[in-house]
Structure 1
């Protein structure tokens, strides 16, 4: 794999491991096991100085959301499919990261391209499903919110992909992603098929802020608070949150 792709993965908090003996993290196939997953959620909860396991579950989804978004980046922007021999999670507190072991990037074929991408994404989400469902059960997060948390990092990047890449192709891929049947996720609604709300920025009333697809549960951390763009906030509480941010 070219060095530039190593650097790209690094922006998603993913490290490339070329030899299995160099793996430092927990094999994601083993994390699915109930006891190990509950232990990991407990550690992630303590790491962010919270007591509610939903915060730990949301924190775990942060790293997994970046992993899924990396897959989407390569498909949407580089026209490549990412695969690997193994995945691992390195639990190093706030400096945690994912490991991909012996990753391979394959060019997406031009013939039947959209169907190839649809199948690739369906397989990715089907593979993620047992782990995400386990995180939901172990942490107390609803399953819809658990999946919704992977949409946050994706939509944080999509505008940049459109502006700096093949805009038409990225937009076609986005519509394809949103059209994947909810049953693939085990849900009633595709977590990427979001109708966003916008509010005026607390910094500049002439600018808009997009409300997040799902609450990141930051308010459950020690000395935590709701994000200004949290979907849980009422208009009154959002205004108060903006005023609080302005006063700092």
Structure 2
């Protein structure tokens, strides 16, 4: 994998081969599947975002994990490679920045798997890559987050479509190559409609959702994407629901104060 692609993963998705910044807390490998270790990690993260309980820390962590999912789609569709995003190769760091706290991701090694050149071979490679990512990386992580925090696992899965929607919109405004954009759309369609619910451990594929739009509050000529599910921001000290939260009524959104 070229240095250029790693630069993109670092810049766009907060993923690096070396730790960026001093970590307040970290979790990696088998600890991602350890309920007590995950609870300790969330306990360190929660006060830094002024969370009132562990559920908001879990929801925010899942939202940050959306960058890993987006990076997976980016790598597969734009560069025809898959980095090793297995939990055994992944570390998450809680890092304090000026004015906010982020979750940074680090890979132990930079090994990648290259897609076959032929169309049928690539399709089979893509199908397996996404199946393994969502069943062996995302699913056990979401389930452990749910067990550690008490938050319904559906709300954790629900953070990912919002991240992937934002990723898609970014690609549509920054990528000019029509063939690459078509590949992105085809691969996303497979993930949404081709992956069975069993891959996610759910009764329905949690990524197969409709994106709703609402009026932009400051520009009548623009629209905003409504979040897929609530991110639980209201469970942070002195915070309220986001303007794009699906829990808000039209009346509440009209009266929203910025």
TM-score (norm 2): 0.85
Match of 1:227 among 236, 242, 250: 242
2:181 corresponds in structure 1 to 167
> Could you report, residue by residue, the CA deviation over 1:123-172 in whole angstroms, capped at 9, with x for unpaired residues?
01111212210101222221111111122221101123245142221111
Matched, 1:211 2:226: yes
What SS class does the counterpart of residue 81 from structure 1 fall into?
strand
Query: Structure 1: which 5+ runs fail to align?
Result: 19-23
Aligned equivalents of 2:213, 2:63: Cα separation in 1: 23
1:4 corresponds in structure 2 to 4
Task: Please tell me whether the aligned partners of residues 162 and 171 of structure 1 are also in contact (alpha carbons under 8 angstroms).
Answer: no
Aligned equivalents of 1:232, 1:140: Cα separation in 2: 20
**1:101-180 alignment runs, 5 A limit:** 101-111=108-118, 112=120, 113-127=122-136, 128-163=138-173, 164=175, 165=177, 166-179=180-193, 180=195
Query: Structure 2: which 5+ runs fail to align?
Result: 20-24
Task: Please tell me whether the aligned partners of residues 62 and 149 of structure 1 are also in contact (alpha carbons under 8 angstroms).
Answer: yes
Deviation at 1:120, TM superposition (A): 0.6
1:194 corresponds in structure 2 to 209
Matched, 1:81 2:82: yes
Deviation at 1:194, TM superposition (A): 1.0
Deviation at 1:25, TM superposition (A): 4.1
Aligned equivalents of 1:236, 1:44: Cα separation in 2: 34
Aligned equivalents of 2:172, 2:116: Cα separation in 1: 21
TM-score (norm 1): 0.88
Aligned equivalents of 2:130, 2:152: Cα separation in 1: 22
Aligned equivalents of 2:191, 2:92: Cα separation in 1: 26
2:95 corresponds in structure 1 to 92
Deviation at 1:204, TM superposition (A): 1.4
> Could you report, residue by residue, the CA deviation over 1:208-248 in whole angstroms, capped at 9, with x for unpaired residues?
1111112211121122221111111111111122xx12xxx
Structure 1 stretch displaced more, 173-182 or 62-71: 62-71
1:21 corresponds in structure 2 to none
Aligned equivalents of 2:165, 2:129: Cα separation in 1: 20
Sort the Cα spacing of 1:31 and 1:160 in 2 relative to 1 into closer, same or farther, 3 A. Answer: closer
What SS class does the counterpart of residue 97 from structure 1 fall into?
strand
- Runs of 4+ with >3 A deviation: none
> Could you report, residue by residue, the CA deviation over 1:60-113 in whole angstroms, capped at 9, with x for unpaired residues?
112322112111111122221112671111233414311101112332113322
Deviation at 1:116, TM superposition (A): 1.6
Matched, 1:184 2:199: yes
Structural RMSD (CA): 2.0
Task: Please tell me whether the aligned partners of residues 13 and 63 of structure 1 are also in contact (alpha carbons under 8 angstroms).
Answer: no
